[in-house]
Chain A
Amino acid sequence: VTLRLSAHLWTLALAAGFAFLGRRLLGARRGAQAWNEAFLAGAGAAATLLFPLSLLWPRHALVLTALLLGAAAVAEAAAWAHARRRGSAVEPAPAPPPRPRDRAVLALLVLAAVPAVAFAVLNLRTSYAWDGFQIWATKALALHHHGGLTRELWPGGVYEGQSARTVTYPPLLPLYEALVAVFRRSFDFNDFKPVFLVFYVSLLVSTWHAARAVTGARGAAGTVALVALLPPLSTSTSTGGYADLPLAAVVAALVAAVLAARAPHGWRAPAAWLLVALLAVKSEGLILLAVAGAAILWTWTRPRGAWGPRVRGHLPALAVVAAALALRGAYLAWTGVGDTAYAALTPAAVPPAVQRAPLVLARCLRWLLRPADWGLFWPAFACAAAVVMRAGPARLRALAAAVAAAAAAFASTYLLSTIPPDWHIDRSYTRLLSQLAPAAAVVMAAAYERLRGGDAGPGDVSPSAPGP
């Protein structure tokens, strides 16, 4: 196991920097989940801003991002000093969570800790799997070398063929890695593995808070244990530097934010900034944003009536997401690199797609139900979704439907794959499903609560408090 103390310290310092930036956006709130949300929101915002900064100052965008995080840290310190002078200017702290005196809770958290420790060991001992090195850390290398985003991965990179498309991949993870290199004053591929420990902890913290919105401490601890135990999240490519784990962390935080929201937050809505972060981590964040966006919009229609006033309360948050979408579109247009792994959805592409649909369906189901990866996870999710859909509150029904829709949407992308679809599915579908696993586990927690006669309804929407 490689323990590079200064790489760990810079990784943590940068996580704090992202969180300080996030707190400027979301407002200063207390509690572990508030800091966790701020970290992901800040990282998403910094990654989104990297593109306009790269246009304006192509050689200095990375350093300017580092300065932005420094400025956020100074602002945080000033706010803290101001709050101390005035007593307490920030929002009062929520009541501390009860200590887990319940032995079952403790046992479940210990059960979660075992795979978490295994993740930490595997993550630090393994160097990189393919994409972690050839794509994500390489994008960080180019970003660090050029000082900003570039239109080509390599100069003259047309030869790279399939790899050239990676230049269009969103920059959150490469940005984090490149910033570690900036502060370490040298680029060393071996310095970046601590970054994944941060995202893993974030994933488990968000899962706990999302589950606590629908069930008690015992159910939440079981949900955390379930997520931690899943091999696709604690072993394999998650320990190889892939971006699926960071994306799963954002998904978990988004679910927690949506279930916890009680009133519109305007442009400071955590869910809006976490939707922005979805776009900033991986290309399929666009699919997740579309599915999550549709689910959230649907909850605004429940209960029926007064749709207009509800939407008006969320217009600033919608503007934040729309701006991020516009920047993502502009970045794709700027690189001018098409995604050669997928055919364009033209009328000519439809017949071959229809023809391969049975193969794609069968292959995806095979990976979805593979016991060696998931145990009984997805069949259990299907049962839980049925329970929640029958009698759950609107937000939980939307969440269950969104998880199922996202799994189907991910599968449908293989219909247009230019790579042999069975090969493509074998190498990626499990990773894509791992992004949805924390959300699926929260649906299971809600169903568990409902079946044992508890109230899984904190996520429901009241007419006066129209949600995220």
Chain B
Amino acid sequence: MAAVVLAAAAAVSALRVPREMRTVFSYAPPDVTPPELRAQVARAEALLPPGAPVFFVTADSDSWRCGIWQRLMYPRLVFCLLTGLGDPRPQAAALAQRFAVRHAIVMGPPPPDLAFVRRRAIPGEHQPVEVAEMRR
């Protein structure tokens, strides 16, 4: 009985570990904040007023990539606007008023009209972004 339980665990492990190794070595980034991304964040920081809160606008429907920017720009306040979850304009208006947000980092396709007046592109190895200023 003990041998059967152990053999079953060994079989499960023998199936799972190679599969996970293949996935990890083929697809998983070894670095959650690769140097090229940190350089891109630094270029965006240079275009923003020190400490000013910003929106991070992306067509994603989850906050993983926005979360990375949030953490790399910490302690600057970065608010995720995920257009993949719906129209972000009501949320953006409320946040802009409450936290005096005047700038945005835009990743991916142009979002709905959020009153951006000036955009400056920041190339990136994986995903270019734009730093935008919002109409007052």
Contact = CB atoms under 8 A, between A and B. Distances in A.
Main SS class of interface, B: helix
Interface in B1-55: 1-2, 4-6, 8-13, 15-17, 20-21, 24-25, 28-33, 53
A154 B77 contact: yes
A371 B95 CA distance: 47
Given A154-B70, A189-B32, 19 more contacts: A111-B6, A111-B10, A118-B17, A118-B21, A122-B24, A125-B28, A127-B29, A145-B74, A154-B74, A189-B33, A219-B2, A225-B9, A226-B9, A230-B12, A234-B13, A236-B20, A374-B9, A376-B5, A444-B2
Contact of B5 (A115, A155, A444): A444
Interface stretch (A128-136, A269-277, A279-287): A128-136
Contacts of A130: 64
A375 B79 contact: no
B75 interface: yes
A339 interface: no
Contacts of B32: 127-128, 133, 189-190
A291 to B, nearest CB: 24
A125 B25 contact: yes
Nearest to B19: A235
A145 B53 CA distance: 17
B29 to A, nearest CB: 6
B5 A377 contact: yes
A155 B77 contact: yes
Contacts of A190: 31-33
Interface in A344-376: 371-376
Interface of A: 1-2, 111, 114-115, 118, 121-122, 125-128, 130, 133-134, 138, 141-142, 145, 154-156, 159, 188-190, 219, 222, 225-226, 229-231, 234-236, 371-377, 380, 383, 444, 448, 451
A248 to B, nearest CB: 16
Most interface-central of B25, B29, B32, B75 (chain A CB within 10 A): B32
B71 interface: yes
Contacts of B77: 154-156
7 contacts: A125-B25, A127-B30, A156-B53, A156-B99, A190-B32, A229-B6, A375-B11
B123 interface: no
Nearest to B17: A118
Contacts of B28: 125-127
